[in-house]
Structure 1
Amino acid sequence: MLGLTGCATWGQLDEGLTALVGKPITAAIEKIGYPNTEQTIAGRKLYRWGSSSQGVISMPTQTTTTGSVGTGLGYRPYTATTYGSAMVPVSYQCTLTLVVSPKDVIIDYGYDGNLGGCERYINALKK
């Protein structure tokens, strides 16, 4: 969880999923593994893959301090900048949905989440 998404893009996810349209659902399973759920809604069969994880990443910080130094009439203003880092919590999630025909051929797809969560699917589809 220390790194952000590498070279994964939403375009690559669309490309990979579009390439599956017209193929049997087994082609998707071979690429991205078994789905988490299978359900029928309004007579359409849907296969869903999902993942979520949490972690922390280090983000740079910058603090500026201003004030004055000296005594009596010798006061002078000063400004100092301190650089550091802070650990920030992150949440990665992704849900892929494939819609299949009665003959189990992929006819449509959808996805929801963020690149960090979908990166594993994007990489699998690129192979």
Structure 2
Amino acid sequence: MRHARINVGLIFLSLTITYIPGCASRTMNNVMSSWKGAPLEEAIQKWGYPTQEKVVASHKLYLWEQNNGISASGGWWPGARKWGGGSVNIEYCNRILEVDDRGIIINGQWDGNDCPKLFSEWERERKQ
């Protein structure tokens, strides 16, 4: 019976690890697509000023870069009397909005491993 509990726990952990990144990606995709058709000024009011503005192949792009720090893991190995088994992770999130000549958002993209912890802060509020 003990092995059955361990197997069920491992299956649950595996499903959780698999599901959470997909859920985060879907949520962030929804956040970015919520801005299509909105004026750039509205995004700036919500997100603050972009960190960069670029024109690439006649496309106007606005970039928001967010670096949330560095996380490190590792542990003490008493038998070996040393630290080991660790990793370093740079937590970041980049958002790009593309606008047309009238300043209306026509596309949005994102990249990062920490986009964001609180998705609702970046989603566009629909006016009724």
TM interval, shorter chain, is 0.5 to 0.7
Once the two structures are superposed, residues 102-122 of structure 1 have per-residue CA deviations (whole angstroms, 9 ceiling, x without a partner) of 0000001111221x2x21573
Q: Distance in 2 between matches of 1:122 and 1:60?
A: 32
- Overall identity of the aligned pairs, in %: 24
Aligned to 2:66: 51
Q: Distance in 2 between matches of 1:9 and 1:60?
A: 28
**Structure of greater Rg:** 1
Greater fraction helix:
2
Report how many aligned residue pairs link the two structures. Answer: 101
Kept after mapping to 2: 8 A contact 1:55/1:90: yes
Q: Distance in 1 between matches of 2:69 and 2:29?
A: 25
Q: Does 1:29 align with 2:26?
A: no
Question: Where does the alignment leave 5 or more consecutive residues of structure 2 unmatched?
Answer: 1-19
Question: What is the CA distance between 1:55 and its match in structure 2?
Answer: 2.5
Greater fraction strand:
1
Question: What is the CA distance between 1:49 and its match in structure 2?
Answer: 0.6
Q: 1:120 to 1:27 in 2, by over 3 A?
A: farther
Query: So what's the TM-score if we normalise by structure 1?
Result: 0.62
Aligned to 1:78: none
Superposed CA RMSD in Å reads 3.3
Q: Distance in 2 between matches of 1:107 and 1:121?
A: 24
Where do 4+ consecutive residues of structure 1 move more than 6 Å? 60-64
Aligned to 1:124: 121
Q: Distance in 2 between matches of 1:26 and 1:12?
A: 23
Q: Distance in 2 between matches of 1:46 and 1:10?
A: 21
Structure showing greater relative contact order (alpha-carbon pairs closer than 8 Å, 6 or more residues apart): 1
Aligned to 2:7: none
Q: Does 1:14 align with 2:29?
A: yes
Query: So what's the TM-score if we normalise by structure 2?
Result: 0.62
